[in-house]
């Protein structure tokens, strides 16, 4: 049974403004109030079909349960004839650009105006955030809502505002990918970087190379921690996986375009290619049998950042058939994706097997190449020629710098900002996505309550991301993105948990001006969006509520500090194996841990109520944290 939404929302303007993520460029309070109910009409004052479709979609989402909104012209809005107006500027407003908009809420009308349909879409997303969170509930019927009077002028700081979704490590269905796109579009992201191939699965149908999906899309099913799983056994069936047909991809591309999202496909070569080699082993140096990796250990990483592959997962640069196969791949990829770029990967390719191979030694000598890095550069130049022959531009991870770039190649900087700085100073377009700020697979809370992975990334750290380094001309920085690698992300629900709210921090960084960023304001608005995620039954991490526990040694004694990233909170703890609440010890200063079988327990409170999770950290774990 559907529940009736009956909400009249009278909020101070500041609270309304603080509900918007990313924060608008300009927000002005007025004393007007607009009553939203099923008597409101919609007036689309443009014949642009894309705008009409966007408005229809908005009406369907906002007014459920069979209520049919009236679409009609309203020349003179009044209390008796209230209206939501959508229009395109007859003369473009240069300040708004392609994606900006104005939104005005008055007593009798709400009006969204933009230069382009993309701006109308972004204005609709802001309007949705001004509505009560219950408007997002799937079981709510239309009722009454109050919009506070305001004038908004808004436009993005960067043109590239992206999220990357890895579907190789774990496969997500068409509907799940669409769900991911729909959510990112609500927060004004406009680029989905789709990581379609890797050692763990080939996810895109290539009709001219059927084994890529017949073999490369499937692996044996395994559970447990990625990198520690059991190898496939002889004759064990490969049953886990999946792939996207051409029709699937066309459907997803169209769905994304309706939400102002472009899709960047990635075909990751020459490394990360076990799925290709499982299907076509003759493309490897030794031609030996390979399997699609289910998460077993197949590399060794060293403290200096170098690594060795225990299994050769690279394509053979000296084999002309490799380039013939890639020509077929990129022919079909280019035809499926309208994006001007194709991502060619280029990351983490191990060169040891190349450098020890006779045929590749001959190739290096012939081409005057000194080492494996230059051999990779040779390989990627040939791949780049293939991509450009399909009418596309090349973008790759920052390793593509090692062999030199063609004039219009773009660089995605992931190993910190260094690669992006170098590329920008050479005059190349750059997308900043450094691990330190933008890797959404990293642990976002305390290791006692979150699954540890390679490194940590808190919400506050993600919010401190600044894509334009000092000394770099901003015109070369296209923007940035957050990356969700899915080694430890087996379901779409967990994908949302890992993506949000850190993606909200990245969204604000990429949309709003640098001067507008304010942690206290952002985290307050983020808390309001927790209720929105709850309303549309989507997962979001609330790890920001948890205490932050650090340790150090002073005079041979273990000392603990407990902090919070949230304002207006109190921290309580125990070390006597009891449970903390507001009547136990309140944290005010460093804690000296006594000898004994100690377990530190800590919890965050606000206004007399617990928020977040209680941490329970044994002594040996506290000791391990010293100096970290």
Q: Tell me whether residue 198 is one of the annotated catalytic residues.
A: yes
Instruction: Indicate which residue of 50, 179, 236, 348 is catalytic.
Output: 348
Q: Tell me whether residue 351 is one of the annotated catalytic residues.
A: no
| Angle value at C-alpha 420, between 417 and 424, nearest 5 degrees | 140
Side-chain half-sphere CA neighbours of 316 within 13 A: 24
CA dist 68 and 342 (Å) reads: 42
Local structure of residue 507 (DSSP, 8 states): H
Question: Whose structure tokens read 């229809």?
Answer: 56
Nearest to 179 by CA among 252, 264, 265: 252
Helix (H) or strand (E) holding 299: strand 299-301
Side-chain half-sphere CA neighbours of 39 within 13 A: 11
Instruction: Indicate which residue of 193, 195, 272, 428 is catalytic.
Output: 272
Instruction: Indicate which residue of 198, 199, 268, 398 is catalytic.
Output: 198
> CA 515: distance to chain centroid?
23
Please name the residue ranges forming H helices in 397-501. Answer: 418-425, 435-438, 459-463, 492-499
Nearest to 338 by CA among 382, 298, 413, 393: 393
Tell me how far CA of residue 267 lies from CA of 155, 226, 480, in angstroms: 32, 22, 20
Q: Are 403 and 377 in contact (CB under 8 A)?
A: yes
CA dist 269 and 234 (Å) reads: 28
Tell me how far CA of residue 223 lies from CA of 240, 387, 449, in angstroms: 11, 37, 20
Tell me how far CA of residue 347 lies from CA of 182, 323, 384, 453, in angstroms: 29, 18, 15, 19
Q: Tell me whether residue 327 is one of the annotated catalytic residues.
A: no
**Among all residues, which ones are annotated catalytic?**
198, 272, 348
């Amino acid at each position: 049974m559907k529940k009736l939404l009956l909400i009249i929302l009278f909020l101070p303007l500041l609270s309304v403004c603080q509900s918007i993520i990313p924060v608008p460029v300009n927000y002005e309070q007025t004393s007007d109030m607009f009553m939203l109910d099923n008597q409101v009409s919609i007036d689309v004052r443009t014949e642009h079909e894309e705008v009409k479709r966007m408005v229809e979609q908005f009406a369907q989402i906002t007014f459920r349960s069979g209520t049919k909104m009236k679409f009609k012209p309203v020349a003179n809005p009044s209390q008796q004839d209230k209206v939501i107006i959508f229009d395109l500027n007859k003369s473009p407003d240069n300040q708004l650009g392609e994606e900006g908009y104005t939104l005005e809420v008055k007593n009798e009308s709400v009006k969204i105006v933009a230069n382009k349909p993309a701006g109308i879409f972004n204005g609709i997303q802001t309007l949705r955030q001004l509505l009560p969170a219950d408007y997002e509930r799937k079981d709510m019927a239309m009722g009454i809502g109050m919009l506070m009077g305001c004038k908004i002028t808004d436009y993005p700081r960067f043109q590239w505002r992206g999220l990357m979704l890895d579907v190789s490590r774990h496969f997500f269905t068409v509907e799940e990918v669409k769900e991911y796109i729909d959510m990112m579009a609500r927060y004004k992201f406009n680029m989905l970087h789709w990581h379609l191939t890797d050692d763990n699965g080939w996810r895109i149908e290539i009709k001219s190379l059927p084994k890529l999906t017949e073999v490369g899309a499937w692996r044996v099913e395994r559970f447990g921690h990625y990198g520690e799983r059991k190898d496939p056994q002889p004759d064990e069936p490969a049953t886990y996986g999946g792939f996207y047909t051409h029709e699937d991809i066309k459907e997803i591309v169209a769905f994304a375009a309706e939400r102002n999202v472009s899709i960047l496909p990635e075909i990751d070569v020459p490394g990360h290619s076990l799925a290709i080699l499982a299907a076509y082993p003759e493309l490897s140096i030794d031609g030996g049998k390979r399997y699609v990796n289910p998460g077993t250990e197949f590399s060794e990483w060293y403290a200096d950042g170098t690594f060795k592959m225990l299994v050769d997962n690279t394509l053979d640069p000296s084999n002309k058939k490799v380039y013939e196969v890639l020509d077929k791949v990129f022919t079909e990829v280019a035809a499926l994706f309208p994006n001007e770029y194709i991502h060619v990967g280029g990351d983490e390719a191990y060169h040891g097997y190349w450098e020890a191979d006779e045929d590749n030694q001959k190739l290096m000598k012939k081409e005057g190449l000194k080492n494996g890095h230059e051999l990779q550069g040779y390989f990627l130049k040939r791949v780049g020629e293939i991509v450009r022959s399909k009418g596309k531009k090349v973008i790759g991870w920052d390793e593509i710098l090692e062999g030199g770039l063609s004039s219009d190649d773009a660089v995605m900087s992931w190993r910190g900002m260094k690669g992006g700085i170098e590329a920008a100073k050479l005059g190349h377009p750059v997308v900043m996505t450094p691990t330190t700020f933008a890797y959404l697979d990293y642990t976002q809370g305390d290791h006692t309550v979150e699954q540890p992975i390679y490194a940590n990334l808190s919400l506050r750290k993600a919010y401190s991301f600044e894509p334009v380094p000092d000394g770099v001309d901003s015109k070369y920085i296209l923007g940035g993105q957050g990356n969700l690698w899915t080694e430890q992300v087996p379901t779409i629900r967990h994908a949302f948990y890992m993506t949000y709210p850190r993606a909200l921090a990245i969204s604000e960084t990429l949309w709003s001006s640098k001067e507008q960023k304010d942690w206290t304001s952002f985290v307050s608005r983020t808390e309001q969006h927790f209720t929105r995620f709850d309303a549309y039954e989507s997962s979001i991490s609330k790890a920001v509520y948890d205490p932050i526990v650090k340790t150090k040694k002073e005079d041979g004694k273990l000392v603990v500090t407990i902090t919070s990233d949230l304002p207006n909170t109190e921290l309580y703890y125990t070390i006597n194996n009891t449970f903390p609440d507001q009547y136990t010890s309140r944290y005010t200063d460093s804690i000296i841990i006594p000898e004994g079988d100690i377990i530190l327990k800590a919890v965050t409170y606000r206004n007399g109520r617990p928020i977040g999770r209680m941490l329970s950290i044994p002594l040996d774990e506290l000791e391990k944290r010293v100096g970290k």
